[in-house]
Structure 1
Amino acid sequence: MKQNLTARLIFILFTYLVGSMGVAQDSPKREMRGVWVATVLNIDWPSRAGLNARQQQKEIDQLLDDFKSLNLNAVFLQIRPVSDAIYRSNYEPWSQYLSGVQGEAPNPLYDPLDYFIEGCHNRGMELHAWMNPFRVKQKPEDKLVEGHIFEQHPDWGWQYGTKTYLDPGIPEVRDFLAEIVKDVVTRYDVDGIHFDDYFYPYPIPGEEIPDSVSFEKYNNGYSIDRIADWRRNNVDEFIFKINRDIKDIKPWVQFGVSPFGVWRNKQDDPDGSDTNAGTTAYDGLYSDVIKWIRLGWVDYLVPQIYWQFDHPKADFKTLADWWGEHAFNRNMFVGHGLYRLTQEGADEAWKNPVEFPRQIRYVRKNPDLKGSIWFSSSRFFNETIGFTQFLKNAYYRNKALMPEIKWIKGDEPFTPVNIKARKVKDNNVLLEWDKPFVKEGFSEPKFYVIYRCKNGEKIDINDPKYIFDVVKHPEYLIKIPFFKLKKEEYIYRITTIDRLNSESELSNPVVINQ
C-alpha cells in the first residue's frame, strides 16, 4: 500500500512537470489511440453476466464517455469471444457473457454491437469489431446451446489443453468463419474487422495439436515433416479470404490483426528480431503476419509488445524498431499491456511510473509507428499509480485524428459549406452546416472536425491544439453560461473526415461571441 502511494505521488509530480513543459504540444495530429474492450470472461464489459439491457447500456455509455474524456479515438470491441456473439448474429448464439446462459438474448432485447457503434460514432471514435476466430470453449464444462455449430459438426475441432477450438485445417471451418465476417460487414457500420493473436493455439509443452485427421484429409501434398508449413498455409488462406471478402463488400472497412509481439527470433531466422522469446507468432501460432502485411492482406498490425524497456528476452525498444521496419507502407500500431500495472507477480519494472510514458514517446519518435492500443479498458480505471490521469493531462491532452488509409484510392473529401450559428434555448448556440450529398462510398463523411481559436488568431490545421471536437452529425451545440461577465469571440471552422480518414480543406469561418 505504501509502495503504491509513493509511486502515485511520483507520478503526480511527473505529470505536473511534463504538463508544465508543454509535452502535449508535441503530440501528433494523427495518431491511433485505441483500447481493447474484452468480453470473454467479462474482463471489461459487461462487468458481469446477467445484467439487464439497461444496466449493460449504462455501462457502455460510461465506458465511452470515459474514453472520450481521455481523447481516445478507437474502440476494439470483442464481439465474438468463443464462437458466440455479442450481437444479433445470423450464425451463432448470443454469448453466455451477456446473460450467463449461451443463447439467451439481452432482456429487453437490443443489439449491443449497434449500441456500441452508434455510441462510438456519436463521440467521434471508430469501432472495430474484434473476433476470436477459432476458440469454442474456455473450459471443458462450458455448455453449448442446442444447434451450436460445434454441436452440429463435432468433427470440426478438438480440445487442446482445457480449451476447445475449431480446426483451421478444415476448409469448411474457414468458409463458415468467413460467412460470419461477411455478415457483420454487410449489416453493421463497423470501421474495421480485428483478429487477435489466437489462430492455432499457444503450444502446451508435451501436448501435440490433435489435427492428424484433418492433415491426412486436407494436406494438399504437404508431407508430415512439413506439417508446420501446412498449418501456416491454412491460416494464410484464411487471412487472404477474409480480406478479399471484406473489400468486396465495403472496401473502406479495415482489416487488422494483433499478433504476438515476436514474429521470429533472429537465432531462428536472420529476418527476425534480436530477441529470445520462448514462443513466436510464426513458429508457435503458425501465423506469418509479416507475409500478410507485405502482400497487403491486412490494413494494419498491432503487435502485442507487452514487455518493458531492457527486458532480457524481449526488449520493448528492439521490438518497436523491428515492427516499424516491417510496416510495408501500411499502418503499424503498438499494443501496450496496461494490465501489467496491476498484474500480480509482474516484473518490478512496471512499478516504475515512467515506463509507459517512455513507451509512448518512443512510439511517437518512430515515423513508421502510427500510435498505440491499450489492453484493456478496465485497466484504465483500476490502475493504482495515476497513469490514466497522466495520459489525460499530458500526452493525450489534445485530440488526435486517426491515421489515413493511404493505400486505398478514394475521392477528395468534401469541404463543409453553409456554416451558420444560431441561438437556441438557454442562451446556447447551435453550429450547423450542410451535409455533402454523396452515395455510400469512400467520400461519405465519417466525421466532422471542429476547429476553434480566439478571434484574432489563425487556425493552423496541422496543430492538434486547435481541434475542438470530432462529431458524427453536421451540427454542434455550444453551451454558453447564462451569467458570464466577460464574453470572448471565437472563430470556428469545420472539415470533413471521409471513410479513409482523409481530411477536407477548412470551411469558411464563423465567429461566435460566448
Structure 2
Amino acid sequence: MKVKLVLLSMMLFSLLVATKAQIAPKREFRGVWMHTVFSDDYAQKSNEQIKNFLLQRLNEYQSVGMNVLIFQVRPEADAFYKSSYEPWSRFLTGKQGKAPADSFDPMTFLIDECHKRGMEFHAWLNPYRANANRKNELHPDHLYWKRKDLFVYFGNQLFFNPGIPENRTHIAKVVKDIVARYDVDAIHMDDYFYPYPIKGSSFPDQKEFVKYGLQTGEFKLYQKDDWRRNNVNLLIKELNTVIKKEKPWVKFGISPFGIYRNQCQYAEGSETNGLSNYDDLYADVKLWVKNGWIDYNIPQLYWEIGHKQADYETLIDWWSKHNFDGHLYIGQDIDRTMKAADLQHKNKNQLSKKMELVRNNPKISGNCFWSADMLVRSHALKDSLRNNYHRYKALVPVVKSLDSIPPAPVTDLRFAMMGKEPKLVWNVKKTNKELDKPTQFVVYAFERNDKIDINNPRYILDIVNKPEYVLPKTPNALCLYYVVTALDRVKNESLPSAPAMYK
C-alpha cells in the first residue's frame, strides 16, 4: 500500500509540474533570431518582394506568440540599414555597398511593422567580424582599404582586431548611430567575440599584446588571455555606456555560447566538457551580468537533455544560479530539440521537458528560438506554441533597472464607428518625459460575468501602438466589455482604464 501511495504521489507531482509548465505567464520573453549572414532571402528580390517576405515572416512569428524579433542588421561590418560608417550588405543587394532602390531601409520597415504587432525589435550586430569569407570582395569604401592595420585575418575570415583601442571606438560609433537614429528596443550581440579556435592556429595578435598590454604595464607576459578578456570587457562596458547615454531605455543583450567555464577549468564552472566563453572566446559574460553592463543574457543552450558533454539540464541549472538575478532567457535550438527523444518517453521529442525546465525555474523568464528559418519549417513546434505554450499573448519582462515607474492610465475608453467596423478609442495623457510616454497599449476583453483580472494573460486580446483598436469580426465582439492599459518604452504597465461596454 505504501509503495502505491508513493507512486501515486510521484505521478501527481509530475502532473502538477507539467501542468505548471503549460500555464502561460503574462510576462515572458518569446524571441526568435533572424539571421542575414549567408542568407539568400533578399539579394534576388525587389523591394516589394522583400517587404512581402518580411511581412509573411512577422505574421508567422506573431501567430505563434513571439514578442521579440532579433534581426541581424550588421552581419560583417556592413549594414541592413542606411549607414554613414559601413557599406550596405551584400546579403541584402547582392553586392557590398550597393544601395537598395528608392532609399528602401529594411531596418526602418521592420521596426515599424514589429511595433504595429506589439513586438520588440532588437538590432543584432556582430562586433568584430568584417568579412565572413576572404573570397568575398570588399567595397572600395570599406574601412579595411583605408586602415588595413586595424584588421586581421584568421582562418578564412577577416576581423577587427579586438586588441586595438581604435576598433572599440569604431564599433561604439556604429552602435551609437543606430540607437540615435532608429527606434530600436535593444542592441543585441551573440557569441562571436574573439573567433572560435582553429586547431593548429593561434590568433595573430602578439604585436598588439606587446604594444597595448605589456608596454602599458597593465599585464605581464603570462597574462595574454587576461588581456584579451579585458579587451572584450572594455568593449561591452563602453557599448552599454554609449547606449544608455543616447537613450536610457534601450536594452543591451548578449546571447553567449552555452558554456561559461567547465568545472575542470574552474571550481564554480558547470559539469561539462566543451568549449567555453571565458577560456576560448575571451567573453566573461558572468562579469558583464554582475556589473550591470548588459540588461539580459540568453545563453545558447543548443544541446539535448542527456548530452554527454554539455547536458541541457545541467547548464540551465548552472546559468540560473550564476546570473546575479539578472534577466535570463534560454536560447533554444529548434532542430535539435524537435529531433531529440525525451529520455522517459522515446516516442516524444524534448520540447515539453525543456519548456518545463524553463517555466519551473523562477530565475528564467523566457526563451529565444534558433532559427527563424527552422521555426517556419517546423509545423510540430508551431502547433505546440500556438495551441499550448504560447496560447495566450505575453508582455516582455520589464527591466526595472532602466525604469520601474508605469505610465499614466488611459482615459475615456469608448466605442466609435469606423464605417461598419466598430472600434475602441481612448485618450492618452501628454508628457514631455520620454520614459513616461505610452508607446503601446494592451487591450483586454472580458465576458460580462467575468471579474476584471489584467494579471491573467487569457484576457489579452491584442497589443497595439496607437490609441485605437478595430474590434475583431466575431459574433460576440460587441457583447464583451473591454479594458485598456498603457505600456511605456520599458514595458511598465499602467493601471487599467475604466471598462467600456457597447450600449
TM range (shorter): over 0.9
Q: Match of 1:505?
A: 495
- Counterpart for residue 5 of structure 1: none
**Aligned partner of 1:251: which letter?**
P
Alignment of 1:207-246 (within 5 A): 207-219=201-213, 220-221=216-217, 222-246=219-243
Greater shift, 167-176 or 50-59, is seen at: 50-59
Matched, 1:252 2:242: no
Could you report, residue by residue, the CA deviation over 1:352-372 in whole angstroms, capped at 9, with x for unpaired residues?
A: 643122111110101110100
Could you tell me whether the CA contact under 8 Å between 1:307 and 1:337 is conserved in 2?
yes
Q: Comparing 194-203 with 410-419, which one deviates more in the overlay?
A: 410-419
SS at structure 2 position matched to 1:321: helix
- 3-state SS, counterpart of residue 109 of structure 2: helix
- Deviation sequence 1:11-61 (CA, Å, 0-9, x none): xxxxxxx9xx9778611110000001101011xxx6142311111111111
Tell me if the contact between 2:304 and 2:337 (Cα under 8 Å) persists in the aligned partners: no
Give the structure 2 partner of residue 469 of structure 1.
Answer: 462
CA distance in 2, matches of 1:376, 1:135: 20
Are the counterparts in 2 of residues 134 and 166 from structure 1 also a CA contact under 8 Å? yes
- Structure 1 366/341 Cα, relative in aligned 2: closer, same or farther at 3 Å? closer
**Partners in 1 of 2:76 and 2:248 — Cα distance?**
27
Structure 1 residues 307 and 487: alpha-carbon distance in aligned structure 2, compared to 1, 3 A threshold? closer
Q: Which residue of structure 2 aligns with residue 373 of structure 1? A: 368
Structure 2 matches for 1:89-128, cutoff 5 A? Answer: 89-128=83-122
List aligned pairs for 1:187-198, cutoff 5 A: 187-198=181-192
Q: 1:347 to 1:156 in 2, by over 3 A?
A: farther
Q: Is the Cα contact below 8 Å between 2:164 and 2:212 reproduced in 1?
A: yes
Is 204-213 or 353-362 further displaced after alignment? 353-362
- Alignment partner, residue 490 of structure 1: 480
What displacement does 1:183 show? 0.4
Look up the match of 2:7: none
Q: Give 2:291's match in structure 1, choosing from 276, 292, 295.
A: 295
Deviation of 1:266 (Å): 1.1
Mapped partners of 2:42, 2:466: distance in 1: 33
**Equivalent residues of 1:330, 1:407 under 8 A apart:** no
Which residue of structure 1 aligns with residue 35 of structure 2? 38
Closer/same/farther in 2, CA of residues 352 and 282 from structure 1, 3 Å limit = farther
- Paired position in structure 1 for 2:314: 318
Inter-partner Cα distance in structure 2 for 1:157 and 1:283: 22
CA distance in 1, matches of 2:149, 2:143: 10
State whether residues 130 and 195 of structure 1, in contact with CA within 8 Å, keep that contact through their aligned partners in structure 2. yes
- 1:352/1:106 CA distance change after superposition, 3 Å: farther
Counterpart in 2 of 1:47?
41
Structure 1: how far apart are the matches of 2:458 and 2:194? 44
- Which amino acid letter does the alignment assign opposite residue 483 of structure 2? R
Residues 398, 134 of structure 1: alpha-carbon distance in 2 compared, 3 angstrom cutoff:
same
In 1, are the aligned partners of 2:406 and 2:487 still within 8 Å (CA)? no
TM-superposed CA distance for 1:123, in Å, is 0.3
Larger deviation, residues 111-120 vs 215-224:
215-224
Give the conservation status (yes or no) of the 8 Å contact 1:24–1:398: no
Q: Relative to structure 2, which stretch is displaced further, 281-290 or 63-72?
A: 63-72
1:325 aligned partner, one-letter code: K
Equivalence for 2:71: 77
CA distance in 1 between counterparts of 2:350 and 2:101 reads 43
Coordinate RMSD, CA, aligned: 2.0
* Residue 408 of structure 1, CA deviation: 2.5
Match of residue 450 from structure 2: 457
Distance 2:257 2:121 in 1: 22
Unpaired runs of 5+ in structure 1? 1-17
Aligned residues, how many? 482
Aligned-partner residue type, residue 399 of structure 1? K
Question: Separation in 1 of the partners of 2:250 and 2:276?
Answer: 28
Taking the aligned partners of 1:290 and 1:306, their CA distance within structure 2 comes to 19
After superposition, give the CA deviation of every residue in 1:193-250 in whole Å (9 maximum; x if it has no partner): 0011111000111100011121122113223321100000000000000001111111
From 339, 348, 356, the counterpart of 1:361: 356
Question: Deviations 1:402-421 (Å, cap 9, x if unpaired)?
Answer: 11111224433111111110
User: Is the CA contact (8 Å cut-off) linking 1:131 and 1:193 kept in structure 2?
Assistant: yes
TM-score (ref. length: structure 1):
0.90
What is the SS of the residue equivalent to 1:172? helix
Contact 1:455–1:491 (Cα < 8 Å) also in 2: yes
CA 1:353–1:88: 2 relative to 1, 3 Å: farther
- Range moving further from structure 2, 218-227 or 135-144: 218-227
Distance across 2 between alignment mates of 1:269 and 1:210: 26
Counterpart CA distance in 1 for 2:101 and 2:258 is: 39
**Contact 1:95–1:101 (8 Å) recurs in 2:** yes
The answer to whether the 8 Å contact 1:24/1:396 transfers is: no
C-alpha contact 2:229 2:283 (8 A) present in aligned 1: yes
Deviates more, 1:286-295 or 1:331-340: 331-340
Name the CA distance, whole Å, in 1 between partners of 2:355 and 2:21.
12
Distance 2:208 2:502 in 1: 68
Q: Is the 8 A contact 1:75 1:127 kept in 2?
A: yes
Task: Choose the corresponding residue for 2:386, options 378, 381, 392.
Answer: 392
Letter in 1 for 2:484: I
2:377 aligns with 382
Residue 108 of structure 1, CA deviation: 3.0
Shift of 1:328: 1.5
Letter in 2 for 1:101: K
The residue type equivalent to 1:422 in the other structure is A
| CA drift at 1:253 | 0.4
CA offsets 1:256-300 (integer angstroms, 9 cap, x no match): 1110000001111112111111x1000010000000000111101
Which residue identity lines up with residue 351 of structure 2 in the other structure?
F
Inter-partner Cα distance in structure 2 for 1:175 and 1:367: 38
Q: Which moved more, 1:325-334 or 1:240-249?
A: 325-334
Alpha-carbon deviations, 1:415-455, whole Å to 9, x = none?
111111012223x2110011221225221212111111111
- Give SS of 1:311's match: coil
For 1:163, the equivalent position in structure 2 comes to: 157
Letter in 2 for 1:474: P
